[in-house]
Amino acid sequence: MAMKISQQKFNERLSSNLENDFMRGAVAGAQHRFQTRRSAAVDSLNWEEWRNHGEEIRQHVLENLDYYLYELSTNVEARGGHVFFAQTAEEATEYISTIAKQKNAKKIVKAKSMVTEEINLNSHLEQLGCEVIETDLGEYILQLDDHDPPSHIVTPALHKNKDQIREVFEQKIGYTASSQPEELALHARKVLREHYLTADIGITGCNFAVAETGSVCLVTNEGNADLVTALPKTQISVMGMERLVPTFEEMEVLVGMLTRSAVGQKLTSYITVLTGIKEALEVDGPEEFHLVIVDNGRSSILGGEFQSILQCIRCAACINTCPVYRHVGGHTYGSIYSGPIGAVLSPLLGGYDDYKELPYASTLCGACTDVCPVKIPLHQLLHKHREVIVEREGRAPISESLLMQAFGMGTSSQSIYKLGTKVASTVMKPFTKNEKITNGPGPLKNWTTYRDFPSLQKERFRDWFEQHNKGGKSK
Amino acid sequence: MIKNREPFLQTVAARLGRSTPSLTKPERNWKHLPQHEVLKDASMEELIEVLREQCLNIHTTLKKCTKQQLPEILNETIVDYGGGRVIYSNDPRFGVLNVLPVFEQFEHLKWQSGNGERNIDFAEQANVGVVISNVTLAESGTIMLQASPEVGRTISFLPENSIAVIPKSSIVPRMTQAAQFLREQSHVSSCINFITGPSNSADIEMNLVVGVHGPVRMTYILVEDY
């Protein structure tokens, strides 16, 4: 899967997702649970101080990114690892494919990683003839279901119900039991256990790399990343170039903020800090370790007006609080990065051609900014995108351009304005029924598809005001 | 081996307004350090109470005992888990705590470098894995392990049931103290595990399932005089 998950236009994706009642119910329910758990986890702390610290750590790292990447790579090498700096997605996938060929790899197990989705790694490895198996339960479900795209960056299979999952398991891995989550998970455990033990390569992402020690920190609840890195002889970890911290001390702070913000846990079940290859006489752990550091558009964000988006630690708190995501779901964004973070990041990494609608899929209410653990001003960045789209790119959405043109024309001459406002209620009469507009024309249509619009008053405010001043009554 | 570092860092440096990549370690002058305030003045007894309460949230059984009671409690816990094969780390503290005879009552293996791959094969078939926590975090209910030739990573992941012995002296308020401890050590272990209860997932309709890829059940045994 690449970052782009759909060839459909934004409005087509929007329509089909708005009609998906199960998905919308599931998303609303999930948001509620995520929000409740997150609040409970952060309320016990002096959270604003934590956010200040989280922000200063991430800003410090970005401002000194060249140094910390130098330090990280030097320390990985000192512990027997290889480091590959990939400027593009193609360079990264080519390097990893070369390792797979060298190792004559038949089977590769993977722990959940957004950046490997972004660079479309699985399909490159599959083209080589490798069997690539996602081991995170949610990712595994999506992979079995003919690569259904993720709809959330933490719980990727949120849009699926348990009966759909049972059907997928029946068709693809010979499952015969019920749609109880416990039974489904138990079956996945058995099937995947065999894969860990027989895989040639384990691939992970990287929640945080630690510059001072050359370590990679992985955060899971399932324990899959641990088996992916402990059993195969070769480990490859792929990281976005900004995902690092100076030392264990800052790692500790951000890990706790990540797990609280993402799932409301003080820590998830497994926080694993891996450094280099296994040492002399150690039995489990990789004999060979490669760290692939990916730019893929990130350096163009650095030093610019959108730099703060690189502070992101991928917790999804913004997604879990967003009223727009709640209604349209993850797939509408057309990118593996959904919600507010996706609406800011996807146009930066993937360009405005594919993602120019996303900054408009927001109410600018600022709820995302309030929950962000590293204080990214998300709604301001969305607003900035709109500025860039309209002013510098000259490509405001057509409806907005037409509306603005009409507004400009209507307000440029006093006589036209007067006429327009006088006849408005008459013009709208055919669409009005019982004081409501239920099937509006033009720009009103998007609104009235889902709810009624009040009918226009017969009397203009200006006329009413004039009468009122004269002490008269309205018509 | 490091590949493509120079051009990559050159691009990054240029974006940051520098003509060449910086090679000087930057000062970390943090204005905010809220982590040191958490449980700052808590006594050991209070930390144990925090740990006890947190175990209720993480689906983990907490048992408390003295050194003298430990063999009996450990035996009882393994039996409750159905006995069977038991794998444990070659940690000298097991000898000090007199629990080696307990393991001998079951089909057992001490994880040792000399056993090679047999460690993993046995762990995969084992019903119970037993380890000792190096640092224990009260706030989150977390044990910390450092892998070595005698402490295999997979002891705590492959068996269906997991038991961690927690020396009272290993308990600290939170991960902050563990991070400081790790930075003070001269060598960084190839694998440091922070483990908080059994494995779990909420990937199916947000329903919590306890026991996914790692252990399904977990017990902490806190030794109050060690």
pLDDT tens-digit map of B12-25 = 999 999 999 999 99
Pick the last residue of a domain from A277, A299, A321: A299
Whether the CB of A67 is below 8 Å from some CB of chain B: the reply is yes
Residues 141-160 of A with CB under 8 A from B: 141, 155-158
ipTM: 0.98
Q: Band of the pLDDT at B220, cuts 50, 70, 90?
A: very high
pTM of the model: 0.92
Tell me what pLDDT residue B117 has.
96
Select from B11, B157, B213 the Cβ nearest to the Cβ of A299: B11
Taken in order of first residue, the domains within chain B and their CATH numbers are 41-223 (3.40.50.10420)
Residue of A nearest to B116 (CA): A283
The residue range of the domain holding A155 is: 10-299
Examine residue A127 and state whether it is found in any structural domain, yes or no. yes
Examine residue A317 and state whether it is found in any structural domain, yes or no. no
Examine residue A371 and state whether it is found in any structural domain, yes or no. no
Cβ density class A135-154: b for 16+ within 10 Å, e for less: bbbbbbbbbbbeebbbbbbb
How distant is the Cα of B131 from the closest Cα of chain A, in angstroms?
15
Pick the last residue of a domain from A256, A278, A299: A299
CA distance A408 to A228: 60
Rounded mean pLDDT, B15-36: 97
Q: Band of the pLDDT at B217, cuts 50, 70, 90?
A: very high
Pick the last residue of a domain from A299, A333, A351: A299
Tell me what pLDDT residue A390 has.
92
CA distance B54 to B218: 14
For chain A, residues with pLDDT lower than 70 are 1, 399, 443, 473-475
Question: What are the phi and psi torsion angles at A466 (to 5°)?
Answer: -60, -50
Length of chain A (residues):
475
Question: Which token pair is A266?
Answer: 């003080």
Return the biggest CA–CA distance within chain A: 98
Select from B22, B124, B191 the Cβ nearest to the Cβ of A197: B124
Token pair 């204080």 is found at A375
Task: Give the DSSP per-residue string, A277-334.
Answer: SPPTT--SS-SEEEEEEE-TTHHHHTTSTTGGGGG-----HHHHH-HHHHHH-GGGG-
Tell me what pLDDT residue A373 has.
98
Examine residue A264 and state whether it is found in any structural domain, yes or no. yes
Whether the CB of A231 is below 8 Å from some CB of chain B: the reply is yes
Question: Which token pair is A59?
Answer: 């800003």
* Nearest of B109, B74, B9 to residue A65 by alpha carbon: B9
- In total, how many domains does chain A have? 2
Interchain proximity A269–B195, CB inside 8 Å: yes
Examine residue A87 and state whether it is found in any structural domain, yes or no. yes
Task: Tell me how far the alpha carbon of residue A80 is from its chain's centroid.
Answer: 33
* Interval B62-118: pLDDT, tens: 999 999 999 999 999 999 999 999 999 999 999 999 999 999 999 999 999 999 999
Whether A67 contacts B26, CB under 8 Å = yes
* Interval B160-177: pLDDT, tens: 999 999 999 999 999 999
Please give the torsion angle defined by the CA atoms of residues A281, B185, A205 and A52, in that order, rounded to the nearest 10 degrees.
Answer: 170
Task: Give the DSSP per-residue string, A130-152.
Answer: -EEEE-SHHHHHHHHTTSPPPSS
CA distance A295 to B145: 33
Whether the CB of B56 is below 8 Å from some CB of chain A: the reply is no
* Nearest of A208, A231, A350 to residue A291 by alpha carbon: A208
Whether A149 contacts A5, CB under 8 Å = yes
